[in-house]
Structure 1
Amino acid sequence: MAQNGDSPEQLTLLRETVRRSRTKAPAGITSALPVARIAVDVSLPHLDRPFDYLVPDDLADAAQPGARVKVRFAGKDLDGFVLERLESSDHDGKLAHIRKVVSPEQVLTPEVADLCRAVADRYAGVLSDVTRLAVPPRHAKVEAEPLKCTQPIQPVVSTSVSEWSPYPLAPGFLDALRRSEAPRAIWTAVPGADWAMGFAQAAAVCASAGRGALLLAPDARDLERLAAACSEVLGPDGYVTLSADLGPTARYRAFLAALRGCTRVVIGTRAAAFAPVTDLGLVALWDDGDDSYAEPRAPYPHAREVLLLRAYRQKCAFLLGGFARSAETAALLESGWAGELIADRAVIRAAAPSVHIAGESDTELARDPGARAARLPHRAFEIAREGLRSGPVLVQVPRAGYLPSLVCQTCRAPSRCSTCGGTLRRTGGSGPASCSVCGRPAADHRCPECGDTRMRAAVVGARRTAEELGRAFPGFLIRTSGGDNMLDTVSDQPALIVTTPGAEPVASGGYSAALLLDTWLLLARPDLRAPEEAVRRWFNAAALVRPAREGGTVIMVGEPSATPLQAVVRWSPEGFATRELSERRTARLAPAAKLAELTGPTEAVADFLGRLRQLMDPQAGLEILGPVALDDETSRAVARTPRASGSTLARTLKEAQAARTTKKLPGSVRIQIDPVHFG
């Protein structure tokens, strides 16, 4: 205890003695690989590197590569993953100890850790953000559950590969899988193909060679179809489903089943792109143009790009399929990185429905002068009436709701809420219009431009379309699919199925006809990918229709000369994708160029751009577009380089971000490389 006469030096020595007496002596350090290199859960770019820690002797057995640990970092206990164990460290200073092994389960395998690092570098992100996407949260009870298998289950492999018979080069691809090689292919499926069965059969071939397969579907409905096909081909225990929709417990259980080698085949949505499949031999993805593959969390990776990196780094086979093609797919084929699996034109014509555009001929225009302007021209009614004689008819409407957007009857000015400025809409056939933002009724609305109180529809939604068709075709069942009311399948009985794009149910035996309405609306979206997305939606819908030889017909309501519509008429997804890639190359847009969208507070974006120009290699061909004000406080800019300088751009973007975080400058700049939506 201090005395009144003690000197300052004595007081200091006394305090140090007390402090040391209260500090627990560290445990002994293990002699075998005493240093652990750890990826600490820190999202700051300037700290995106592994850190070395000492391994206490009592944690040596549990602190293996891939295990979750707790470490002291910047005065806090943070989570981390052990990346490797070493004999010594390059760090000159004193090393801290691992505080705790959260779980000895080695959840971050070396292959997945390497993939996470590559994805972070590809998207100018940090490793910790990617590992959060790759490894689901821990559930101790699930880890404690008894292991249900001690070795990989041998799937019940079907010997039939009939789904691949229309494609001349498919046998070579499958033979390469059997030989555990790494073929890479772009599969353009024929209309009506059972893509899920094709994926399951390819996975079965891979599993029969003793290797694992990872199959991705865009959404829960497609995943159910894939699961049904895998159950038929591989058996119910021959695969595991990994999806965020499973819920935390079930997802972690499926993750551990794959990690522990209880199955060779994993299927899932984008959440499964990092699944720890043992001895991975095949990665496959269906319909890569679907925007659900784009991760909404930093660093915003796309599942297609994750699988491309995985196929390259793990030297496994790659298969990308779809009824349509994206510009990125066309670029892969053009570069020679992947080969093409496509049927002969005669086979495609035999499988495709007959596709027409309303008002495409002079004869039709002479009979119905309003064919090109009417929303439901006479020919569309005729095709629907004829189709209802033999089965269900699909009607695709781009917008959900009843009347989702209203305009003035006289001057066509948009009708907006007088309280908040939101768009006015109608949600049913009776009652006043209401605001789509605040929900207030607009019974006394008056146009501020011309004073008219009358309003009309700017866009007709699926519900209003179903109502109109119900009056036009009395006695027939009308069903809608979209939003919260999604139909997976429908019977082969005559009915009108009104859906929004992407919500089309599969009809038993195929649809007898399809009406694709308001095609202009899909093409009019202010987005670089609007034509590509529209064509993808139309091909996916038309592929559900019976072949022309069985009477299957598709009518598109739009401008007959429009290139996207003509691509569907000719059933040429490959031709449209090649043309789209060529146009983007001319405009220097992705995937012909590397783009990075930078969004944030105006001053922060300006500072970021200044640093980017200083740090960027002058030979990289950097070009800055903008910045453009999004509102009073936020701006957006685009950094662009040639494709060959993409890695340089990503690295420099991260350096600029790290320079800002090191100085703790105000304002956060969001970096998104090759955004799905751009415009």
Structure 2
Amino acid sequence: MTPESRRIARVLLDSPLPQLDRLFDYALPAEFGEVPLGVRVRVPLRTAGRVIDGYIVDIDTEDDADRPLSEVDSVVSTVPVLPERLHRHARRVADRAAGSASDVLRLVIPKRQVRVEKAWTGESPAPVVEEAAAERSQEILDVYEGLVAVLDDGGRAAVEAVPQLRDGGEAWAQLLAASATRMLAAGRSSILIVPDHRDLDRLLTALESLVPGESVVRYDSRQTNPDRYRGFLRTLEESPCIVVGNRSAVYAPVEAGLVAVWDDGDPLLGEQLAPYVNARDAALLRQELEQSALLFAGHTRTTDVERLVAHGWLQDVRAARRVLPKVVLSTPQEMEQPAAQRMPSSAFLAARTAAAEGPVLVQVSRPGFSPSLVCAECRAPARCPHCGGPLGARHRGAVPVCGWCGRSARAWACPACSSTKLRLASSGSERTADELGRAFPGIRVIVADSAHPVERVDAKPALVVATRGAEPLAAGGYRAVVLLDGPRMLQAPDLRIGEACLRWWSNAAALAAPGAPIHLVGVSGAVGMALATWNQAGYARSELESRAPLHMPPTARVALVEGSAAAVSRALVALGELALPADAVLGPVPVDSEDVPPRVRALVRFDYGAGSRVATVLRAAVVAEAVAGRRGRARNAKNTLSVRLDILDPEL
């Protein structure tokens, strides 16, 4: 470096403002010495007149020492919390979703914990996989035809998990644990992503018998801040590890040899914060950048994954010898029975016979006693007089309570017929347990839902009434499974409700003991046949074929553009220069809100090939509106324009 030159640091600011989503040049004072890339710094923001956080992405020298540059205020820490691979991944994800890289990094980089950082050595010993664990992992992987080659060659696969219990745990958890163990034995890290804490606990249990505990790094919101930061620092080390966590774990800065996602259709894998990227999409982008092995495992197949299988981008991997659950559909005579008879005779007899031997699972759609009430005279839905929410009953004879605001409706009167009498319109988990307790005298009844979490039940006779997703594990598996409320579940106004129901039912069926009957009550048609034949991939293919002519996701990508009428109009005009199809834009239509000025919403449908151009134009529109707002054109408007890509269930 010549006397006339100086060091400059290119800094990514930690700011939610879209106009600041770029690298800024700052002079790096000589007194800071050698500064590693990726460290936290504090830098002045001239337009705001304050100092904010940021990360050094690059350091360079320049000869133009006369160019006016602000100096880096301070180096917060010498720990490189933003390695180049993490920045590259965050930038790629943000660009695809028309978002900010800092929003992505905020999901993965925890707040600094000084004591934890000072105690961190940065050199964990290389984990050792015992020979017995390696052999056990090989046995599990050999069940799936071609899976070992996918892992060793850095391939991509959609894996149909074996729907059964094995050695006291679920086969899917052992599949992911065995895959990560093989990678660890080869000296490579793995990232295992699951939807919720129940899946996380089951996966950690499966890993306990295969790998040393210090090689497993948890990555979930239940951790304390020090534990979360301690785990993050471990992922910065060169020593391989296995990262196990929820959706944000997909960004863990390890040099991953494997990224595996379990049950990618679960909505919990969709990020609820901007830029709203699903863990599945983030995993696809990571594999594209790093060429690691990629697995999407599940008992069912989402249309998103099936589209990639159909294009040959994912390999279809299944068990070499499939042993399928025994699913029984309702007969035509049972389908004609009154709706009041929730459990037909065949399912009732199967449950009674199985309950004498062990636990029986009864899946219902909703928790509580009676989640919804109707007028006893005209059958109109009972609504809260304060907020319009649905009224429900917590137990028989209880005062109706609103499901939205929680207020009691003691003096309720039907606005349609003025009747003051209410009728129970649905049965939740508690009411179902109450009814089955009377129908099965002498058999204990266990309720498992959000208010009564149950992780495991023993092998003694019992009726386990559980809501979807809250089913506990049973020792030896359930002796019978009864899936109730299927028609009610399928009536939800959701484009993907068929996929969702098939996923709920398949996951429950996988908890059954070998040969145990699984009764799907009141459901026929394509969804029922897909479960009965265990052909979830075929159902996903048929869904893709039906959505293609309508350009509905995932056959096309969909962007939601919302804001003031003028802002949305300007964004749509900018999109018009991309020569999208004439029917690409739906709307805009007014949004039911009290915002001033009124907000409108539009949907934009486009092919995957146009994705980068659409995202670039929409991101530029967001930045332009944000800058204009600061200059006064829309000073009174709040969030004048927002953009969200890859809407799963588009609805104007």
Which position in structure 2 is the counterpart of 1:7? none
**8 A Cα contact 1:48 1:127, kept in partner:** yes
**519-528 or 147-156: bigger deviation:** 147-156
Partner of 1:65: 37
Corresponding residue of 2:18: 45
By how many angstroms is 1:478 displaced? 0.7
Match of 2:467 in 1: 500
Deviations 1:60-116 (A, max 9, x none): 32x321100000112210110000111228998311111000111000110010000
2:543 corresponds to which of 576, 580, 603: 580
Aligned residues: 629
Helix, strand or coil at the partner of 1:395: strand
Q: Secondary structure at the match of 2:181?
A: helix
| Alignment partner, residue 229 of structure 2 | 252
Q: Quickly say closer, same or farther: Cα 1:630–1:515, change in 2 above 3 A.
A: farther
Change (3 A) 1:559 1:101: same
Query: Equivalent of 2:267, from 266, 291, 296?
Result: 291
**Of residues 242, 253, 266 in structure 2, which corresponds to 1:265?**
242
Partner residue of 1:613?
Answer: 573
Q: What amino acid is the match of 2:371?
A: P
- C-alpha change, 1:395 and 1:341, in structure 2 (3 Å) is same
Gap regions ≥5 residues in structure 1: 1-27
Structure 1 residues 90 and 120, CA, compared in 2 at 3 Å: closer, same or farther?
A: farther
**How far apart are the structure 1 equivalents of 2:585 and 2:65?**
39
Q: Equivalents in 2 of 1:522, 1:170: separation in Å?
A: 35
1:142 corresponds in structure 2 to 116
In structure 1, what is the equivalent of residue 430 of structure 2?
463
The aligned amino acid for 1:108 is L
Cα offset, 1:557, TM superposition: 1.6
Decide whether the 8 Å contact of 2:376 with 2:421 is kept in 1. Answer: yes
CA contact 2:163–2:171 (8 Å) conserved in 1: no
The answer to whether the Cα contact below 8 Å between 2:558 and 2:650 also exists between their aligned partners in 1 is no
Q: 2:51 aligns with which of 70, 73, 77?
A: 77
**Which of 504, 529, 534 is the aligned partner of 2:501?**
534
* 1:123-168 Cα shifts (integer Å, max 9, x gaps): 1001111111121111111101142744433344522222223322
Distance (whole Å) between structure 1 residues aligned to residue 428 and residue 64 of structure 2: 64
Corresponding residue of 2:77: 103
Letter matched to residue 639 of structure 1: V
Q: Secondary structure at the match of 1:158?
A: helix
Pairwise mapping of residues 159-558 of structure 1 onto structure 2 (< 5 A)?
A: 159-160=135-136, 161-174=138-151, 177=152, 181-192=153-164, 194-277=171-254, 279-343=255-319, 347-348=321-322, 351-358=323-330, 360-362=331-333, 370=337, 374-548=341-515, 552-558=516-522
Kindly provide the amino acid, as one letter, of the partner of residue 42 in structure 1: S
Further displaced range: 650-659 or 163-172? 163-172
In structure 2, C-alpha distance between the alignment counterparts of 1:78 and 1:428, rounded to whole Å: 53
In 2: Cα distance, 1:29 partner to 1:255 partner: 39
Query: What is the Cα deviation at residue 50 of structure 1?
Result: 0.3
Q: 1:146 to 1:613 in 2, by over 3 A?
A: closer
For the residue of structure 2 that corresponds to 1:159, the secondary structure is helix
Q: What SS class does the counterpart of residue 479 from structure 1 fall into?
A: strand
Change beyond 3 A, Cα 1:653–1:355: same
SS in 2 for 1:340: strand
Q: Out of 405-414 and 625-634, give the one that drifted further.
A: 625-634
C-alpha distance in structure 1 between counterparts of 2:146 and 2:449, whole Å:
37
Partner amino acid, structure 2, of 1:115 = H
Moved more, 117-126 or 578-587: 578-587
Instruction: Measure the CA separation in 1 of the matches of 2:199 and 2:474.
Output: 14
| Matched position secondary structure for 2:62 | coil
Q: Distance in 1 between matches of 2:194 and 2:555?
A: 26
Question: Percent identity, aligned pairs only?
Answer: 36
Q: Deviations over 1:211-246 (max 9, x none)?
A: 111111111111111111112111222221111211
Q: Tell me the CA shift for residue 542 of structure 1.
A: 0.8
Partner of 1:667: 638
In the alignment, the residues of structure 1 paired with residue 421 and residue 603 of structure 2 have an alpha-carbon distance, to the nearest angstrom, of 43
Structure 1 residue 642 and structure 2 residue 607: aligned?
yes
Partner of 1:624: 585
Q: CA deviation at 1:448?
A: 2.1
1:403 and 1:101 map into 2 onto residues whose CA distance is: 58
1:448-478 per-position Cα deviation (integer Å, ceiling 9, x unaligned):
2123322212221111111111111111111
Larger radius of gyration: 1
TM-superposed CA distance for 1:678, in Å, is 3.6
Residues 231, 238 of structure 1: 8 Å contact kept: no
Q: Which amino acid aligns with 1:138?
A: R
Cα root mean square deviation, aligned: 2.3
Secondary structure class of the residue paired with 1:355: strand
The offset of 1:172, in angstroms, is 2.5
Q: How far apart in 1 are the matches of 2:63 and 2:514?
A: 67
Amino acid aligned to 1:56: P
Distance 1:438 1:201 in 2: 46
Q: Which moved more, 1:73-82 or 1:659-668?
A: 659-668
Contact 1:287–1:323 (8 Å) recurs in 2:
yes
| Structure 2 equivalent of residue 12 of structure 1 | none
Which secondary structure does the structure 2 equivalent of 1:421 belong to? coil
TM-score of the aligned structures, taking structure 2 as reference length: 0.92
The one-letter code of the counterpart of 1:93 is R
Residue aligned with 2:273, SS: coil
Asked if the contact 2:359/2:462 (under 8 Å) is kept, the reply is: yes
Distance 2:63 2:328 in 1: 69
Q: Structure 2: which 5+ runs fail to align? A: 165-169
The separation in 2 between residues aligned to 1:632 and 1:55, in whole angstroms, is 48
Paired with 1:481 and 1:29, the residues of 2 have a C-alpha distance of 71
Q: In structure 2, what is the equivalent of residue 14 of structure 1? A: none
